[in-house]
Amino acid sequence: LEQIYNFEDALLGGTMLSTLQNNCDRVKIACMAQLVNVIAPIMTEEGGKAWVQTIFYPYYYASVFGRGECLDAKVYSDSYRTSDGYNVPYVNASVVLSEKKDKIYVFASNLSLEEDMELTLSFEAFGEITPISKTELYCDDLKAVNTKDFEAVSPTTVQLNGKSDTSHTLSLKKHSWNMFEFKIQ
């Protein structure tokens, strides 16, 4: 039994991680059963290659950069209605102040299948902050999977040359997971 994860699964995983971060006052520890079962984020073949599945990336970035103090993220977004009658916001985000208190990391998902979204952040309590980088996980094909021979889904990181300010507006590509890094001045 092996589970192959696609890009949709990566979006779900990233969104779930933000939900856990946003509820850290109640959730003290979270485990990924897939790390020890047959449905792992890292695949191998006997005597051969190893490769990462799509779900690996949100877990990796949350594990490395999501350490510190979770801040109270208030996100206001357009929403869509599920078949069960629930309204679900298109934008999901969590914010983490680094352990050294010198950086802020924003993890954000855009769940819209058709439209790019903007996320405006206000950090008056921290004074001016400077955008450093944006890591984006995006694939036009929601069903795309990574294989031992081809990595269809992988993040791209770009350096941001924004100015220091107390407020920033970020672009979120349609159906994407993102991590933004800011330096506190």
pLDDT of the residue at 29: 83
Residue 164: CA atoms inside 13 Å, Cβ hemisphere, count?
A: 8
Give the C-alpha separation, 86 to 80, whole Å: 8
pLDDT of the residue at 30: 77
Residue 2 in this model has a pLDDT that exceeds 90 = no
Query: Which domains can be identified in the chain, with CATH numbers?
Result: 7-184 (2.60.40.1180)
The structure tokens 């984020």 sit at 41
pTM: 0.93
Give the C-alpha separation, 135 to 159, whole Å: 9
Which of 23-37, 50-64, 113-127 is predicted with the least confidence, judged by mean pLDDT?
A: 23-37
pLDDT of the residue at 1: 66
Give the C-alpha separation, 36 to 134, whole Å: 31
